Structure 1
């Protein structure tokens, strides 16, 4: 078993759990901890470092959520076997060079799906968790539809922030957006056999629909979202869209097209699945009202998540179903237990009800806006007209179109040689293929210094 040999800096402004996370992440990425190595248990690591179990638990959960380690039932935590290959081995025949490069401790990872950990309200979260653990409700399975206090808080929040017209009785809580998409698929599978998706679009949702035996129809999407005119000619009654912050381009479907989407759904008697995954973070104007807010026909299934605005490891997502589908849910889906942690749900409800949610959002929006502006400025300074930036007005990631004859794969390899990890976009396309390679960059957990350094290294790699 691997022994963790480093000391916690108790005078540092960096939280202790984050110090543990950073150290283990660096050791894994450098190859100093071999793949499949068993790590100390939460209790043993806490004893080694003289910290609380909660501190080591949070560090492990973050590493697990980012894919660096895995948890095996009744065995413990292990370094993820495929981490080196996934990060570096774009060609398995060329693994030696990336693995050598992996020893660079200053690796800068523009990973998607991360958030700024240092600004997570850890003290408040601990306090509220301790508080809710005194409630006898926390020692049962909890409500299948989700904690009612959280659903009531969501009803108010979604109406105030996104114009969503729903009730606590129509809101479902789930452990992830993917899990809720499975639930929707089961609700609709008897009446709908096909679904339209954006191309390019969220590949995980597309693959999930295929696994659920839907016939998937890719509909071209431009910078501002899906082309509704082509959807009209598709043989389907169901469409999955990301209208407020298109994934991956980052654009927003204009109001005229939103109205056309609603009209289409009403005419075919179908449904629109609206994935509103990070609408909180819009930097040049107020968030555009949700698609659901202009739907008077109950044809929009609205989805959102706390993973971007709070913390991925909380694993709390939500969905507002039209009343017609809620009737069907109550008849057929009662067999399914709740998948999101009842403790996290109640803690989150308390966090919202005691007035901490909106201040947290304002703080994170200001932080990500500053990081986004810095990233855009640095990219423009170094690359000028040799790239086109997409999606810089919202969210916590961007797409850059690199105007070059070099392949996407080679761009990623060249970036890694300079100690930078950026991500491919090819997996988001089905039929539509761009002329130039597109690369995705997340900024959630990077410091401003890392952003500046990372873009500078990209320029050294690509120019």
Structure 2
């Protein structure tokens, strides 16, 4: 029986938590026993449901109980199993380019997530210096005013010069729209294209973009993305307003769209009166050659909408991206969004502008690229040593992630669970397919932006250990079938 004392300083949720915990430890609440439902127990004790929910959540995190679909919370074990860690299903690799990784209930040392960076990567000293300088100038009066819907002109001017120099983008600062992330920019485009709600995008492709298009009522036409690049014949006869693609580093396969296909795609846009949305999400990270020129730099008919971000070269927490609109879309943009204000704070934009003007941003990009080139090379080398011919890496030479292709027939869902138990977190690729049944079963998604070279080596070794038996069995089956 659980009692609560409302006259003590001990929080109510803690009283519930401690009594259940002691009951399990003493053996009074046996393994497999179902606890009362949250609503039931809250009525019995005369406390809010949040109180019981908080107590149960804490018990689940510590491994005393586990939530089961259709059963509520069930006791995990008696005294000898109290230290057992609760196992969580492997999170999906979605997000920001995501691919924005979902929060997990326990930390894994070798987490091959994608998108976040170590704190040491951010230029904190320079950022503090430029922040102080901005706040100390007469122009800091802008901090008390609503800004332009397109963003600070100072940042747009710096971006115009940087994009022309680094990506060959031809534009004026009037064409640049500062946003708070890719999805903000895509949401604007959905409003501009609302008269024709069908859009083409890569299959597989970035799930964050797909979700936004669907949320805006757009139907999707798939452009087949294969190991060797995009199959542009998929666009034949497609009646779409635009094609959303990642030509410089296809997500998730990592292929680069050839110059021949780039010209073919631009020709398609003109002939079909459509647009190309070029997502240049991680163009700074090119290791085997110079950065590939943007698709926009080849466009002579104003059909490419160029989108980039500061998330990969600086920090995703800043929430700053940019979009270059074709000139003939500007009138419609201003008409629809004249009352909008920039979603990015004036201060962050001004600090970023000064940081770019000082030349330190370019220096930081080079520093980051150099550091991740080493990690990329270690990843490739260690995979070759550990897996040999049993695995293929897709996406070499650029970016911050790989697709690891294992022998056909490998049950990657099972391997992901086994790897988790071994202390390694890798991710499924199924979320990147619009039609999940078309997704190969032998691919694993692995990012390395949060790991140093030592952890990359150790993590891949542990993954190979977890995969070992399965790979051997698949090789045996393959040889027997020959």
TM-based fold match above 0.5: yes
- 2:465 aligned residue (444, 460, 463): 460
Conserved 8 A contact 1:224-1:246 = no
- Structure 1 residues 193, 389: CA separation in 2 closer, same or farther (over 3 Å shift)? same
1:173 maps to which residue? 178
1:255–1:91 CA distance, 2 compared to 1 (3 A): farther
Residue 284 in structure 1 maps to residue 288 in structure 2: yes
* CA distance in 2: counterparts of 1:269 and 1:359, whole angstroms: 40
Judged with a 3 Å threshold, the aligned counterparts in structure 2 of structure 1 residues 119 and 207 are, in CA distance, closer, same or farther, namely closer
Q: Which runs of 5+ in 1 are unaligned?
A: 1-33, 35-77
State the distance in 2 between where 1:450 and 1:300 align: 40
CA deviation string 1:213-258 (max 9, x = no partner): 1111112111243211121222223110000000000010000100
For the pair 1:142 / 2:147, whether they are aligned, the reply is yes
Give the Å deviation of 1:117.
Answer: 2.6
Give deviations 1:79-120, integer Å, cap 9, x for gaps: xx8997xxxx99969997862599987621111111243131
| Rg (Cα) greater in structure | 2
Q: Within the alignment, does 1:407 sit opposite 2:394 as a pair?
A: no
How far, CA to CA, are the matches of 2:197 and 2:160 in structure 1? 31
**SS of equivalent residue, structure 2 residue 438:** coil
Deviation at 1:272, TM superposition (A): 0.5
User: Per-residue deviation at 1:318?
Assistant: 0.3
Residues 158-197 of structure 1 mapped to structure 2, 5 A cutoff: 158-190=163-195, 192-197=196-201
User: CA distance change for structure 1 residues 454 and 92 in 2, over 3 Å: closer, same or farther?
Assistant: farther
1:40-59 equivalences in 2 (<5 Å):
none
Q: 1:417 to 1:289 in 2, by over 3 A?
A: same
- Structure 2 runs not aligned, ≥5 long: 1-16, 18-53, 77-83, 89-103, 469-482
TM-score w.r.t. structure 2 length? Answer: 0.75
TM (norm. structure 1) is: 0.78
- Summarize deviations over 1:115-138 as a string: whole Å, max 9, x none: 243131100101111221231112
Q: Secondary structure at the match of 2:367?
A: helix
1:271-304 CA-partner distances (Å, limit 9, x unpaired): 0000000001000101111111000000000000
CA contact (8 A) 1:245 1:252 kept: yes
Q: Is the 8 A contact 2:193 2:241 kept in 1?
A: no
* Distance change in 2, residues 1:91/1:389 (3 Å): farther
Q: Secondary structure at the match of 1:423?
A: coil
Q: Match for residue 250 of structure 2?
A: 246
Post-superposition offset of 1:336: 2.0
Q: 2:378 aligns with which of 374, 379, 391?
A: 374
Of 422, 426, 443 in structure 2, the residue corresponding to residue 422 of structure 1 is 426
Residues 444 and 327 of structure 1, relative CA distance in 2, 3 Å threshold: same
* Alignment match, 2:451: 446
Partners of 1:166 and 1:149 in 2: how far apart? 15
Q: Deviations over 1:331-360 (max 9, x none)?
A: 111122211122111111100001101111
